[in-house]
Amino acid sequence: MPAPARTSTEEVVAAGRRILERDGLEALTMQAIADAVGVRPPSLYKRVEGREGLVRLIADSGAAELAEALDEVVDGPDAATDLRALAVVFRAFAHRNPATYPLLFAPRLGGVSAAWRDRSADAVRRVAGRLAGPEHELAAARTVVAWANGFVTMELAGAFQLGGDVEEAWDYGLDALVGALAG
**pLDDT tens figures, 18-76:** 999 999 999 999 999 999 999 998 888 888 888 889 999 999 999 999 999 999 999 88
3, pLDDT greater than 50: no
pLDDT at residue 1, as a whole number: 41
pLDDT at residue 109, as a whole number: 65
Q: What angle do CA 63, 64, 69 make, to 5 degrees?
A: 95
Q: Do domains 1-48 and 60-182 have the same CATH topology?
A: no
Provide the residue count of the chain: 183
141, pLDDT greater than 60: yes
Task: Give me the mean pLDDT over the 110-136 stretch.
Answer: 90
Q: How far apart are CA 130 and CA 144, in angstroms?
A: 13
146, pLDDT greater than 90: yes
pLDDT at residue 110, as a whole number: 64
- From 63-67, 94-98, 115-119, the region with the lowest mean pLDDT: 115-119
Residue ranges per domain, the chain? 1-48, 60-182
pLDDT at residue 107, as a whole number: 74
pLDDT at residue 5, as a whole number: 61
Determine if the pTM surpasses 0.85: yes
Could you say which architecture CATH assigns to the domain 1-48?
Orthogonal Bundle (1.10)
- Other beta carbons less than 10 A from residue 71's beta carbon: 16
pLDDT at residue 45, as a whole number: 86
pLDDT at residue 4, as a whole number: 46
Q: How far apart are CA 30 and CA 83, in angstroms?
A: 39
Total H helices, total E strands in the chain: 8, 0
Task: Give me the mean pLDDT over the 97-124 stretch.
Answer: 86
Looking at domain 60-182, its CATH class is: mainly alpha
Task: Give me the mean pLDDT over the 160-182 stretch.
Answer: 95
pLDDT range class, residue 125, cuts 50, 70, 90: very high
Q: Please tell me which residue, 3 or 56, carries the higher pLDDT value.
A: 56
